[in-house]
Amino acid sequence: MVLKNLCTITIPEGVKCELVGKKVTITGPRGTLFRDFAHTHCELEMVGAEVLVTVWFPRGQQKSLPRTITAHIQNLITGVTKGYLYKMRLAYAHF
Protein backbone atom coordinates (compact mmCIF):
# COMPACT_ATOMS: atom_id res chain seq x y z
CA MET A 1 0.00 0.00 0.00
CA VAL A 2 1.37 3.38 -1.01
CA LEU A 3 1.19 6.04 1.70
CA LYS A 4 2.08 9.08 -0.38
CA ASN A 5 2.47 9.76 -4.10
CA LEU A 6 4.47 12.92 -4.84
CA CYS A 7 5.53 14.87 -7.95
CA THR A 8 7.41 18.17 -8.18
CA ILE A 9 7.60 20.88 -10.83
CA THR A 10 10.38 23.46 -10.99
CA ILE A 11 9.18 26.93 -11.96
CA PRO A 12 11.64 28.54 -14.43
CA GLU A 13 12.95 32.09 -14.12
CA GLY A 14 10.69 34.74 -15.59
CA VAL A 15 7.57 32.76 -14.66
CA LYS A 16 5.48 33.55 -11.60
CA CYS A 17 3.29 30.89 -9.98
CA GLU A 18 0.53 31.61 -7.47
CA LEU A 19 -1.38 28.97 -5.52
CA VAL A 20 -4.62 29.82 -3.73
CA GLY A 21 -6.03 26.58 -2.39
CA LYS A 22 -6.17 24.32 -5.43
CA LYS A 23 -6.24 27.16 -7.95
CA VAL A 24 -3.05 27.68 -9.96
CA THR A 25 -2.23 30.94 -11.75
CA ILE A 26 0.85 31.04 -13.98
CA THR A 27 2.11 34.41 -15.26
CA GLY A 28 4.87 34.76 -17.84
CA PRO A 29 6.04 36.91 -20.75
CA ARG A 30 3.16 35.78 -23.00
CA GLY A 31 0.34 36.34 -20.50
CA THR A 32 -1.49 34.68 -17.65
CA LEU A 33 -3.10 31.23 -17.52
CA PHE A 34 -5.36 29.84 -14.79
CA ARG A 35 -6.39 26.31 -13.84
CA ASP A 36 -8.62 25.06 -11.01
CA PHE A 37 -7.91 21.63 -9.50
CA ALA A 38 -10.62 21.83 -6.80
CA HIS A 39 -12.26 18.62 -8.04
CA THR A 40 -9.15 16.53 -7.35
CA HIS A 41 -8.15 14.81 -4.11
CA CYS A 42 -4.63 16.17 -3.85
CA GLU A 43 -2.55 18.79 -2.05
CA LEU A 44 -0.74 21.58 -3.90
CA GLU A 45 1.96 23.64 -2.20
CA MET A 46 4.81 25.97 -3.13
CA VAL A 47 8.26 25.28 -1.70
CA GLY A 48 10.69 27.87 -3.01
CA ALA A 49 10.62 27.68 -6.80
CA GLU A 50 8.89 24.29 -6.86
CA VAL A 51 5.29 23.14 -6.80
CA LEU A 52 4.64 19.92 -4.89
CA VAL A 53 1.64 17.78 -5.84
CA THR A 54 0.83 15.17 -3.19
CA VAL A 55 -1.83 12.48 -2.90
CA TRP A 56 -2.11 10.64 0.41
CA PHE A 57 -3.16 6.97 0.45
CA PRO A 58 -3.93 6.78 -3.29
CA ARG A 59 -6.05 3.97 -4.67
CA GLY A 60 -6.42 2.81 -8.24
CA GLN A 61 -6.58 5.74 -10.63
CA GLN A 62 -5.62 8.21 -7.89
CA LYS A 63 -2.04 6.94 -8.22
CA SER A 64 -1.77 8.67 -11.60
CA LEU A 65 -3.22 11.97 -10.33
CA PRO A 66 0.04 13.74 -9.30
CA ARG A 67 1.68 13.10 -12.68
CA THR A 68 -1.44 14.27 -14.53
CA ILE A 69 -1.65 17.51 -12.56
CA THR A 70 2.11 18.01 -13.02
CA ALA A 71 1.66 17.68 -16.80
CA HIS A 72 -1.20 20.21 -16.79
CA ILE A 73 0.89 22.75 -14.85
CA GLN A 74 3.86 22.12 -17.15
CA ASN A 75 1.60 22.83 -20.15
CA LEU A 76 0.53 26.11 -18.49
CA ILE A 77 4.21 27.05 -18.10
CA THR A 78 4.89 26.20 -21.75
CA GLY A 79 1.91 28.32 -22.77
CA VAL A 80 3.14 31.46 -20.99
CA THR A 81 6.77 31.06 -22.11
CA LYS A 82 6.77 29.62 -25.65
CA GLY A 83 3.09 29.81 -26.51
CA TYR A 84 0.96 27.48 -28.58
CA LEU A 85 -0.08 27.83 -32.22
CA TYR A 86 -3.30 26.26 -33.43
CA LYS A 87 -4.04 25.93 -37.13
CA MET A 88 -7.59 25.35 -38.23
CA ARG A 89 -8.01 22.75 -40.92
CA LEU A 90 -11.13 22.48 -42.96
CA ALA A 91 -12.17 19.20 -44.49
CA TYR A 92 -15.08 18.93 -46.88
CA ALA A 93 -16.66 15.76 -48.13
CA HIS A 94 -19.93 15.59 -50.00
CA PHE A 95 -21.99 12.47 -49.43
Over its C-alpha atoms, the chain yields an Rg (Å, rounded) of 17
Report pLDDT for 13: 93
Report pLDDT for 89: 86
CB proximity list for 90: less than 8 A, separation 6 or greater: none
> Whole-model pTM?
0.85
CA atoms within a 13 Å half-sphere pointing along the CA-CB vector of 57 = 0
What the chain holds in terms of domains, given with CATH numbers, is 4-81 (3.90.930.12)
Quick one: which of 66, 55, 72, 84 has its CA closest to 17? 72
What's the DSSP call for residue 41?
A: S
Q: How confident is the model at residue 92 (pLDDT cuts 50, 70, 90)?
A: confident
Report pLDDT for 90: 87
Q: How confident is the model at residue 77 (pLDDT cuts 50, 70, 90)?
A: very high
For residue 83, which phi and psi values (nearest 5 degrees)? 85, 165
Tell me the percentage of the chain whose pLDDT exceeds 90: 75
Q: Check if the beta carbon of residue 2 is closer than 8 Å to that of residue 58.
A: yes
